[in-house]
Amino acid sequence: MAKEKQETEKSYSPVAQMEPEREIRLKPKMSLLNGITVIVGSIIGSGIFISPKGVLIGTGSSGLSLIIWAFCGVFSTIGAYCYAELGCMIAKSGADYAYIMEAFGPFWAFMRLWVECLIVRPCAQTVVALTFAIYVLRPFFPACDAPDESTRLLAAVCIGVLTFVNCYDVKWATRVQDIFTYAKLLALAIIIGTGIYLLCLGKTENFSFENTESDLTLIALSCYSGLFAYNGWNYLNFVIEELKDPVANLPKAIGISCVLVTVVYVLTNMAFFTALTTKEVLESEAVAVVSLPPSSLSLTSLVAVVQPALDLGGFTLIFRARFYCFTIGVSFADELYGYMAWIIPVFVSLSTFGAVNGILLTSSRLFYAGALEGQMPRVLTNIQIFRLTPAPAVIFQTLLSLLYLTSSNVIALINYVGFATWLSIGAAVCVIPWLRWKQPERQRPIKVHLFFPIIYISLTVFLIIMSMVADPISAELITEGVQKLLLVVEPDAAKPSD
């Protein structure tokens, strides 16, 4: 009887119920539809409302700007196609970090990891959250900017709510992503529908190649602006361990998402030009170049695209910022919707809320992957026992984002998006020909033609060189920062711990 009672008690023990059928690790819970919404939700954020001016400045005409938008979509799709091979061949969370680790070793993966984790991701998440707060508060402050404290507090609430969701259940996080992806697609559908209606009325006078720019450096910089809006197509690779049947679903999700976003972006920009002239698009954003910290800039009217350089000799972080006022969507709405113009700020808020969730969902897995390799604090490898979520990694990402949010001035958007992001993605794509040479017999569930990675790498190198020619000061700052980082960080220090 005692033995039977003991076995009965054991059968009702929560720990006993977890063993052996429940292994404490990330589980595949994401379907193909979830994968599509993660990618689409991560790509479509505030970028489509920021980038049109940057593209138009570099191209000079509406005709060439539409071609650049289509080119950026094709460019991103080629990169995504290459990532499909990498994701199925190296089925680890962490995406390009895991691929660089596999091919080029821990030191370069370590360099990539820490820049991405400490600067790029939390910085980007913070400012997308601020954009969410700006547009939520806009209807309540129609004639002026909302108080900075209110904006930062609402942004913190946004990050906090999504942190709870991502810690509680991956299904909740993907459900949030699904809902807000549909909302942002609805917003863009309204804009596109308006544009199609105006085209049917013959509103084509703003479409031309007049004043087209011929300077390749400016055209290359316009590509950076366009690619900024497409950033996020590789985010599903960060959570591949949680994707059901990744060999089948990863390439499908990537292909469907990239084609969908490209079509949506081109049609959205066409819609903008049906209502706004090139001059009105250029005047829809106020631009200023300053050095941080600015004493007279309002947080609620400005968001920065950051170009930081690490001066590790003095352990200082130098920021040069270019500020953009998010008004192109509002200009479009004011021009056409009258008293219903408030719907655009509302939908932009929904769009950015979903983008914050996408960044948090995927970036936390990068922290987790780095910790598994021993290159970040070991506590980040822990997984919540009952929910099977990487809660410590999610919370750590949130704390870094909130740290940026406490700034009394303007929060940085992203670490020189074009250079840092596309350089690292280009390095990851280099893994394909490298491993074809070093490990020709390795199993590859998906095998892309070498033409695609070669084209992608070549275009990436071209864009990086053109950006350095166009902005040599930033290139010099970044080069100096990398040199000092290489002097400070010993290769042995980047080796994974045993």
The verdict on whether omega for the bond into residue 251 sits within 30 degrees of 0, i.e. cis, is no
Residue type at position 179: I
Which stretches does DSSP call E strand in 355-395? Answer: none
Is residue 389's pLDDT more than 70?
yes
Residue 308: strand pairing partners: 319
Q: Which residue has the tokens 């290139």?
A: 475
Is residue 433's pLDDT more than 90?
yes
- Of 398, 365, 367, 393, nearest to 129 by C-alpha is 398
Query: Around Cβ 316, how many Cβ atoms within 10 Å?
Result: 9
Mean pLDDT (whole number) for 272-296: 56
The whole-number pLDDT of residue 308 equals 33
Q: Identify the weakest region by mean pLDDT among 113-117, 133-137, 309-313.
A: 309-313
**Is pLDDT larger for residue 425 or for residue 94?**
425
Is residue 64's pLDDT more than 90?
yes
- Of 266, 237, 268, 230, nearest to 253 by C-alpha is 237
Q: What percent of the chain has pLDDT over 90?
A: 12
Q: Quick one: tokens of 392? A: 């410590």
Residue 289: strand pairing partners: 322
Domain ranges of the chain: 27-494
Q: How confident is the model at residue 223 (pLDDT cuts 50, 70, 90)?
A: confident
In sequence order, the 6+-apart residues with CB closer than 8 A to the CB of 37 are 174, 177, 178, 181, 182
Q: Which of 27-31, 94-98, 214-218, 296-300 has the highest mean pLDDT?
A: 214-218
Is residue 371's pLDDT more than 70?
yes
What is the CATH number that goes with domain 27-494? 1.20.1740.10
With 0-12 / 13-18 / 19 or more C-beta atoms within 10 angstroms meaning exposed / middle / buried, residue 262 is buried
Mean pLDDT (whole number) for 214-241: 79
Mean residue pLDDT across the chain: 74
Query: Around Cβ 205, how many Cβ atoms within 10 Å?
Result: 9
Mean pLDDT (whole number) for 451-475: 80
Backbone torsions φ then ψ of 375, nearest 5 degrees: -105, 5
Is residue 57's pLDDT more than 90?
no
Is residue 305's pLDDT more than 50?
no
The whole-number pLDDT of residue 311 equals 31
Residue type at position 25: R
Is residue 286's pLDDT more than 60?
no
**Is pLDDT larger for residue 368 or for residue 12?**
368
Q: Quick one: tokens of 433? A: 């020909």
Taking a C-beta distance cutoff of 8 angstroms, is the pair 84, 250 a contact?
A: yes
